[in-house]
A and B are shown apart, each in its own frame.
Chain A
Amino acid sequence: KQEVTQIPAALSVPEGENLVLNCSFTDSAIYNLQWFRQDPGKGLTSLLLIQSSQREQTSGRLNASLDKSSGRSTLYIAASQPGDSATYLCAVALDSGYSTLTFGKGTMLLVSP
Chain B
Amino acid sequence: DGGITQSPKYLFRKEGQNVTLSCEQNLNHDAMYWYRQDPGQGLRLIYYSQIVNDFQKGDIAEGYSVSREKKESFPLTVTSAQKNPTAFYLCASSWVSGGARVAKNIQYFGAGTRLSVL
**For the complex, what is the distance from the CA of A44 to the CA of B45, rounded to whole Å?**
14
Interface size class on chain B is: 20 to 34
The chain A residue sitting closest to B88, CB to CB, is: A41
- Cα–Cα distance between A104 and B106 once the two chains are bound (Å): 16
Among B35, B45, B102, B110, which residue has its beta carbon within 8 angstroms of that of A51? B102
Task: Check A43/B90 contact, CB under 8 A, given A98-B31, A100-B48, A105-B40.
Answer: yes
Asked, given contacts A41-B114, A46-B108, A99-B105, whether A105 binds B42 with beta carbons under 8 Å apart, the answer is: yes
A100 touches B40 (CB 8 A): no
CB-CB under 8 A from A106, the residues of chain B are 40, 42
Find chain B residues with CB under 8 A from A93 CB: 105
The answer on a CB contact under 8 Å between A46 and B107 is yes
Q: Total A-B pairs in contact (CB under 8 Å)?
A: 60
Looking at the complex, which one of B6, B96, B102, B109 makes contact with A98 (CB distance below 8 Å)? B96
Q: Is B33 close to A, CB under 8 A?
A: yes
CA distance A74 to B41 in the complex (A): 19
Given A4-B42, A41-B114, A89-B43, A101-B31 contact (CB < 8 Å): no
Question: Using an 8 Å CB-CB cutoff, how does the interface string of B26-63 with A read, 1 for contact, 0 for none?
Answer: 00000101010000111111001010000000100000
Query: What string of 1s and 0s marks CB contacts (under 8 Å) between A1-42 and chain B?
Result: 000101001000000000000000000000110101000011
Closest A residue to B30 using CB positions: A98
List the interface of chain A (C-beta within 8 A of B).
4, 6, 9, 31-32, 34, 36, 41-46, 49, 51, 89, 91, 93, 98-101, 103-106
14 other contacts beyond A43-B110, A49-B102, with CB at 8 A cut-off? A34-B107, A41-B114, A43-B90, A45-B109, A46-B106, A46-B107, A51-B102, A91-B42, A91-B43, A98-B96, A98-B104, A103-B43, A104-B42, A105-B42
Measured CB to CB, the residues of B under 8 A from A are 6, 31, 33, 35, 40-45, 48, 50, 58, 88, 90, 92, 96, 102, 104-112, 114
